[in-house]
Amino acid sequence: MQKILIVEDDEKLRHELEIFLQRNGYEAFGLENFERTLEEILGADANLILLDINLPNVDGEYLLKEVRKASDVPVIMITSRNSEMDELLSLHYGADHYVTKPFNTQILLAKIRGILKRTGNLAMQDRISCGSFVLNLSKSQVEKDGKAVELTANELKIMKCLIRSKGSIVSREDIMNELWDNEAFIDDNTLTVNMTRIRKKMEEIGMKDVIVTKRGQGYLLSV
């Protein structure tokens, strides 16, 4: 599971981000001691860092410069200062992205996914937590409360697609396009068969009605 380090001194925001990212399949943890911030960051072995500019005892932009001397880990800068100069400096010092508070968490999530996909870390994630179940990519199975069901290659890709858009409707066309992109050539009837099999397997581990059909629109993962 990919690790995201949150370097943010606002305890409420830090906690909210931890919960939000954990619910979206990441191992998110926040830095709470800012006495040795740089050492803590470099020792965290994170796949991505959310770094606030305004921190106790140290400036976030200074930290970014020092991190870049030792690591290429992706960094998204977070600030309450709406300053173009701060944004330019952050990008100049090596930030991958820059967001200003208050921000939309779904947009932040999209930025995180885009960066991790671009840097190749997405492939390293082998367990995706989603509500009360886990999608185990390395074993191609869904796990819940000690129970597990095996998925075919296509079923696994479909579940990844639904989880990625959890809470939003995914059209049948989008799912088929994703499978075609992965050289899994399926038609409309085959997709229907796959969805029926996935539903039956989810029921076997106590997840009945977790995939909702929205007539004329597509499918919704409800967890």
Placement of tokens 């840097």 in the chain: 119
Q: Which residue, of 124, 149, 176, is where some domain finishes?
A: 124
Counted domains in the chain: 2
Pairing of strands 141-144, 133-136: antiparallel
Note whether 109 and 166 are same-domain residues: no
- In the predicted model, what is the mean pLDDT of residues 100-123? 81
Q: Which amino acid is at 128?
A: I
Note whether 22 and 118 are same-domain residues: yes
CATH assignment at residue 154: 1.10.10.10
Give the model's pLDDT for residue 184: 56
Give the model's pLDDT for residue 178: 73
Placement of tokens 């819940």 in the chain: 144
Note whether 24 and 113 are same-domain residues: yes
Domain that holds residue 65: 3-124
Note whether 113 and 141 are same-domain residues: no
Note whether 102 and 10 are same-domain residues: yes
Note whether 15 and 96 are same-domain residues: yes
Q: Which amino acid is at 45?
A: D
* Residue 56 scores a pLDDT above 90: no
CB atoms < 10 A from the CB of 95, how many?
22
* Residue 122 scores a pLDDT above 70: no
Give the model's pLDDT for residue 77: 93
Give the model's pLDDT for residue 201: 97
- Return phi, psi of residue 145, to 5°: 50, 45
CATH assignment at residue 72: 3.40.50.2300
Those residues with Cβ within 8 angstroms of residue 124's Cβ, 6 or more apart along the chain or in another chain: 2, 47
Q: Which residue, of 124, 153, 182, is where some domain finishes?
A: 124
Which one, of 58, 72, 50, lies nearest residue 120 by Cα?
72
pLDDT 10s digits, 73-94? 899 999 887 767 777 877 877 8
Q: How confident is the model at residue 121 (pLDDT cuts 50, 70, 90)?
A: very low
pLDDT 10s digits, 167-210? 889 999 988 887 775 445 578 888 999 999 999 999 999 999 99
Note whether 103 and 141 are same-domain residues: no
Note whether 14 and 98 are same-domain residues: yes
pTM of the shown model: 0.54
Q: Residues 122, 109, 56, 62: is their CA dihedral positive or negative?
A: positive
Give the model's pLDDT for residue 61: 87
* Residue 23 scores a pLDDT above 80: yes
Q: Which residue, of 124, 159, 185, is where some domain finishes?
A: 124
Eight-state DSSP code of residue 12: H
- Cα dist from 166 to 169, 205, 222, whole Å: 8, 19, 7
Higher pLDDT, 6 or 223: 6
Give the model's pLDDT for residue 183: 47
pLDDT 10s digits, 127-144? 788 888 999 887 889 999
Note whether 7 and 114 are same-domain residues: yes
Give the model's pLDDT for residue 126: 66
Note whether 58 and 141 are same-domain residues: no
Note whether 31 and 114 are same-domain residues: yes
* Residue 154 scores a pLDDT above 80: yes
Cα atoms in the 13 Å half-sphere on the side-chain side of 40: 15
Q: How far apart are CA 164 and CA 116, in angstroms?
A: 14
Note whether 104 and 137 are same-domain residues: no
